[in-house]
Chains A and B, each alone.
Chain A
Amino acid sequence: MKKSSFVVLALAAATLAACQTGGTSSSGEGGSSAADSSLEETSSESAIASSEPADSLETALAKARKGFNAITESSQNVYNAATDEFIFSNESRYEYGFQNVGRIKTYQIYDYYDTHTEMKVVRDDSGYAATEYVNYKNEVATSPLTDSEGYYYNYDHYYANPFLYVEKEDLTLVEGNVYAVNKEKRDYLSFLLFANTRPLVEMTLTLEGDTFTSAHFLTANIDSFTMELPGGGQAEEYYKCYFNYEGTTTFLEMGAFTIDDPALSPTSEGVEELTAAFAELGTNYTLTQSVRMTDGVADPNSDAILYVDGEKAYLDYSRGDTSYEQDSLFRADDWEDDGLLYENIYVNGAWSQAPADSSSAYNVDPKGLSYFTPHASEISANLLLNEGNGKYTIGNEYALPFIGNGFLPDILSFPLYDYGAISDVQIELGDGTIGISIDFLYPTSYGAYEMVYDYVYSNVGTTELPIGE
């Protein structure tokens, strides 16, 4: 990815989701030379002319471009480099689905021995690969996939329907109803169809009537070493081998394949008391935030109390310490009548406007009171589930993983909630309070660990900032 020479940082919220691509493992790769393959097909690249097949091809392509399901059974075949004797094979299975009518979506399922990965992506308005979910308003929404550095993946390059790239001219009849695919394109097509990244020596499509029913591929040979022996068992030493990948794809539901949208919740029941409490959350409330590990160990550095009095807001990270270190006071600018609240910090005994001295500083893009108003009043009642005894949770599995920021004002929104890693939400109505606990998986380079954020709304309508100015 090209880097700019000046500092330009996108403001889009960073979101993270597991971006799994089906990879294949092999028994120790090495070497840069490979044995000749005797399976090179010799077809030319110009289309063979005849009237019937051309019509059927056009129809088959048109159907495929609308969507289909493809199941690819692939095997990595390993041979003795000295004798060409077959040694062993590893099997993988890929199930890819493409929907190109309405929303453009792909799903990929990969199975290799004990490994099973699944992912589903939709093409969002910017062309990025995104996860679909149900947002707090009970609407289908998308969140772009991203890696740990905030890079967004383009949908078209990684997940496009491969038939969008196939023209009639790319198919040459080999025999019967089997067509060879244009040599120059087939490698990329096989990447889209079943994650293959190796050079191919063969790729064919089979046409039955006016529908493609199957495909076959074979990669070039790659040198390696192995200790495996034919029939099982291990040799005393590694010895030279080579391997290739061969597979067959079966096409199903050509032209008629759809991938379900996440389900919305149609009705609500027994949640009026909670929604009434949420509706009270406007521009005057107190919100405490605390963090702990699931075993109870707390992380006081993330504890905070937000006071909003209808005009200003005070974010207390120092928990009452009057040095006000790390605290922020949000209030209107004395000179500008722009309806915005500016961040002030406590310096030399007084609150003064903070400089916009970093790309993520609040004052780079100051906001109005709506930024300090909880979204909770907008949560769709249909998503809430009454568990009894004053306890509630989220009843929609597509909404739960992303719901966190729906309970909060934007000033306290937590980027990790947009990763879709929330595993549980517990809401409790108390006497004048609303308690919300959010369980989620915090990703680190060592793996994810479970954390809980506890929020409590209190003093709704009666909050006063506990600081003088």
Chain B
Amino acid sequence: MKRVLLPLLLLALPASTAALAAAADEAQNPLESFLEEARTSYVLEAREKEIVNRHDNGAFLFENEYRYEMTKTRNASLEEAAFGETSTASHVVRDEQGRPAQEYLSYDNKVSTYALSNTSYDIDYGNPFVYVAPSDFTEIEEGVYKLDDLKAYEFAYRLLRLDYPLKDVLFNFEDGTFKNMTISTPAFEGVTQDQYTYEYMLIDYSYETEVRLSELGTAVVEGVKTAESRDPEHEEALRAALTSLPDNFTVVISEHDRDYEANHEYDAYMYYDGEAIFHQLTLGSLTSGLYYCEEEERPDGKLYLQDYDADAGKWVHYDAISSRSYNADPKTYDDLLPRFKDVAPELFTYDAENDIYVCDNLDALGFMGNPLSPGTRHITYFTEGQTDKATIKLKSDGRIDTVTVGYSYEDSLGYLLSRDIDYRYINLGTTAMPDGFVGRQ
């Protein structure tokens, strides 16, 4: 591997070596300062051309063009790739533990992150320029630097997710200033279908990509912004309702397809009498469902899930026999009850026509589902940021009446279906466990 001649005396001098070049390395300077800036942040625009020729006579057949727009900083990556009318975009941030995460606005109006995996952000989203150094380049003609073959793939993959063998990765400088990068491939053999005869024929195809960079070292990725007050009068009304839920209420839970009336025969009732929570799943049943209460044996202020032991005729501690069991990680009252008092009214807008408050903040909506639901009813769609509806209706006396949260999903035939869950609050302050219910003493 030929290295550019570098009698650089880095030994006794600081790392920023722009001033150190000996006469022979004037060529190296543009790369060093360029890399230093690019390693901090950049905005990228690129065009990738897929050029297809006939194999038998080399005649040009057609070309496809892919467009890329990206912004990369130390802690965030915005990637957008487009082909024709379709495009995909992703916005990933590096959370405090170094994992790739989604940024969002939490129910209490704080910028938060949701980890997308337990793997390293840097491994998948790390800045490509961090992984190359001036010594990896050879100046093949004035101002044109070729990246070593052994570094080319990883660089191009990090830069643009290019995933094929490469021929040349060239950094082009003009008068010491970065102009663009070009990435080329050898020819690959393939097969395509003739659009007229429908017969298959051999083709040779290759890729040529041009990359332009801007805002070197200064690019920023706009983060999620906290919500501001827009309608103080209604926000106050909502705040009053959210903070006045007593430590005693009943919730009637109805689940239904969006825009369809619920079948109330399937309603579930959740009773909270200030001490224990009984989440009845079958109407009328006093011995099935989820019953949470404090336990004398475990005096830590947490509520433990009980299971009804029919033989013994009583509720007993439900052993956490799976890592997903509730009792493996028991919750406090705050976690099991809806988090109304901390919900930020600024995330909602008042719909006068329907007299209802609607969460219209798209940075927050995805993760509103669980905080607005009792902790006994957190669902995976909501945990993963898939909430797509959150509304609050107040009673005429200004207290909470019905909270509705919902999500959408694709069924097995590819149709988009939406499910909503209505939580209607009744018997505020007057709730007692249902007649005949015997809890743990």
**A and B physically associate:** yes
Instruction: Write the residues of chain A forming the contact surface with B, with a CB cutoff of 8 angstroms.
Output: 1-2, 4-12, 28-30, 32, 34, 46-47, 49-51, 54-55, 104, 126-128, 154, 156-157, 160, 164-165, 167-169, 182, 184-188, 191, 197-200, 220-222, 224-226, 236-240, 355-361, 364-365
Give the top 8 A-B pairs by smallest Cβ distance, nearest first: A199-B98, A238-B328, A237-B320, A187-B120, A225-B323, A28-B323, A187-B122, A126-B165
Q: Which of A47, A154, A224, A364 contacts B323 (CB 8 A)?
A: A224
Min C-beta distance of A10 to chain B, whole Å = 6
Q: Are A198 and B119 in contact (CB under 8 A)?
A: yes
B324 contacts which chain A residues (CB < 8 A)? 30
Enumerate chain A residues within 8 angstroms of B163, measured Cβ to Cβ. Answer: 1-2, 154
B122 touches A184 (CB 8 A): yes
B264 within 8 A of A: no
Please report B residues at the A interface, Cβ cutoff 8 Å.
10-15, 50, 52, 64, 66, 74, 81, 83-84, 97-99, 114-115, 118-123, 126-127, 130-131, 133, 135, 149-154, 157, 161, 163, 165-166, 186, 188-193, 198-203, 205, 319-325, 327-329
Distance in angstroms between the alpha carbons of A226 and B154 in the assembled complex: 38
Question: Can you name 13 A-B residue pairings with CB atoms under 8 Å?
Answer: A2-B66, A8-B192, A8-B205, A49-B14, A51-B12, A126-B165, A154-B163, A156-B153, A167-B135, A187-B122, A237-B319, A237-B327, A239-B328
Q: Which B residues are in CB contact (< 8 Å) with A365?
A: 202
Complexed CA–CA distance, A157 and B155 (Å): 9
Closest to A47 in B: B15
Are A54 and B131 in touch, CB under 8 angstroms?
no
How far is A51 from B11 in the complex, measured between Cα atoms in Å?
5
- Whole-angstrom CA separation of A358 from B194 in the bound complex: 11
Contacting residues, chain B, for A356 (C-beta < 8 A): 199-201
Which residues of chain B are within 8 angstroms of A128 by Cβ–Cβ distance?
A: 165
Total inter-chain residue pairs, C-beta < 8 Å? 172
A8/B11 in contact, CB under 8 A = no
Measured in the bound complex, the distance between the Cα atoms of B328 and A200 in whole Å is 27
Q: How far is the CB of B159 from chain A (nearest CB, A)?
A: 13
B15 touching A169, Cβ below 8 Å: yes
Contact in complex: A188, B320 (CB < 8 Å):
no
Q: Taking the nearest CB of chain B, how far is it from the CB of A114, in angstroms?
A: 23
Chain A neighbourhood of B150, CB < 8 A = 104, 156, 160, 164
Chain B neighbourhood of A357, CB < 8 A: 198-200
A5 and B188 alpha carbons, distance in the complex (Å): 17
Please give the distance in Å from A205's CB to the nearest CB on chain B.
17
A128 CA / B189 CA spacing, docked (Å): 16
Contact B50 A238 (CB under 8 A): no
Q: Residue on A with the closest CB to B86?
A: A5
Least CB separation from A196: chain B residue: B120
- Closest residue of chain A to B132, judged by CB? A165
Chain B residues closer than 8 Å to A358, beta-carbon distance: 200
Known: A54-B10, A127-B166, A197-B120. 10 other contacts (CB 8 A): A7-B193, A156-B152, A184-B130, A187-B126, A197-B119, A197-B123, A225-B323, A240-B328, A359-B191, A364-B201
Complex contact B123–A49 (CB within 8 A) = no
Complex: chain B residue closest to A35, CB-CB:
B97
Closest chain B residue to A169, Cβ basis: B15
Shortest distance from the beta carbon of B116 to any chain A beta carbon, whole Å: 9
A16 to B1, alpha carbons, bound, how many Å? 32
Please, how many angstroms separate the alpha-carbon atoms of A7 and B195 in the complex? 11
A151 to B: closest C-beta gap in Å? 9
Give the chain A neighbours of B149 by CB distance below 8 A: 127
User: A30 — which chain B residues lie within 8 A by C-beta?
Assistant: 323-324
- Shortest C-beta distance, B271 to chain A (Å), equals 26
Known interface pairs A30-B323, A187-B122, A198-B119; A11-B127 also in contact (CB < 8 Å): no
Cα distance A187–B117 when bound, in Å?
Answer: 15
